[in-house]
Amino acid sequence: MPKEKNKEKLILDTAISLFTTKGYQATRMDDIAKSAGISKGLTYFYYKNKEDLFMALTKKAFDLFKEEFREVYLMKGINGLEKLNELVIRVVEFAKKNQILYDSIIGFMDLVKKSNDEEARKTIDPLILESQHFQKLLEIHHEPAKFGVMMVSQGIKDGSIRPELQPEITFYTVWSMIIGFEKMIGPIGYEGKEVKINPENWQHGFLKLLQDMLKGTIQASRPATVQTSLF
């Protein structure tokens, strides 16, 4: 079993490298097999086709992404709001270092949206729908967000986040902002633009705005406990 796992990992790591350098469309299963130094038949033994391999790559991306969220959530000595700030920085760094993995995560979100609509589902490549990795992803893709929701809940409890906010709605709103923030870093960093802003001062401003939004104009505090008696 360890040998099999090593071969499987070798194929996946090679695919990530080639997808990053050559692009997904330009990379063939033959290229992956040759670069990995194994036979094409063995490559197909582990992954049915390139679509199945890409879904396996996406599963790996979500596993790594979940670990980033978990590490931030488990950080000691900082409050819930500070953890969300750290998460923004971690997500942007993750995307920068692992662009093909991050893009696969964002792409899968679009696949989930399509799969939930009967007509749109027909536009998804059947080879993707048949992938066992795609089915597994449908089960686990929400797991990183669970840690984000717990960060918001912690912030509400420790007073760093407004007490009237609903944790799930708040985190998914924050996550949508983080996704947009990462996507806009390229356009913001383009030198020919008219707007006087750069990625560095924008990140500082983004984090400041996020803090103000979650803290509110008045410092958050725990709702007062009202003691009552049954008699």
Which structural domain range is residue 112 located in? 55-215
**pLDDT tens, residue by residue, 173-210:** 999 999 999 998 878 777 665 667 777 788 889 999 99
Same domain, 107 and 33: no
Helices 2-22 and 99-115 sit at what angle, rounded to 10 degrees? 90
In a domain, 203, yes or no: yes
pLDDT given at position 201: 82
Q: Give the pLDDT confidence of 37-94 residue by residue, as tens digits.
A: 999 999 999 999 999 999 999 999 999 999 999 999 999 999 999 999 999 999 999 9
Residue 19 included in any domain: yes
- Domain containing 172 — which CATH number? 1.10.357.10
- Long-range contacts (CB closer than 8 Å, 24 or more residues apart) made by 94-97: 94/64, 94/65, 94/68, 95/182
**pLDDT for res 220:** 46
Of the chain, the percentage scoring pLDDT greater than 90 comes to: 80
Q: Are 63 and 175 contained in the same domain?
A: yes
CATH of the domain at 20: 1.10.10.60
- Residue ending a domain, choose from 11, 30, 47: 47
Q: In this structure, are 108 and 21 located in the same domain?
A: no
Q: Is the pLDDT of residue 2 over 70?
A: no
Q: Is residue 180 in a domain? A: yes
Entry pTM: 0.85
122, 129 contact by CB (below 8 A):
no
Are 59 and 168 found together in one domain? yes
Question: How much is the pLDDT for 230?
Answer: 37
Q: Which two tokens stand for residue 191?
A: 């030198």
Same domain, 167 and 85: yes
Q: 174 and 194 share a domain?
A: yes
- What does the pLDDT average to over 129-135? 95
Asked if residue 227 belongs to a domain, the reply is: no
Q: Is the same domain home to 163 and 200?
A: yes
- Judge whether 223 lies within some domain: no
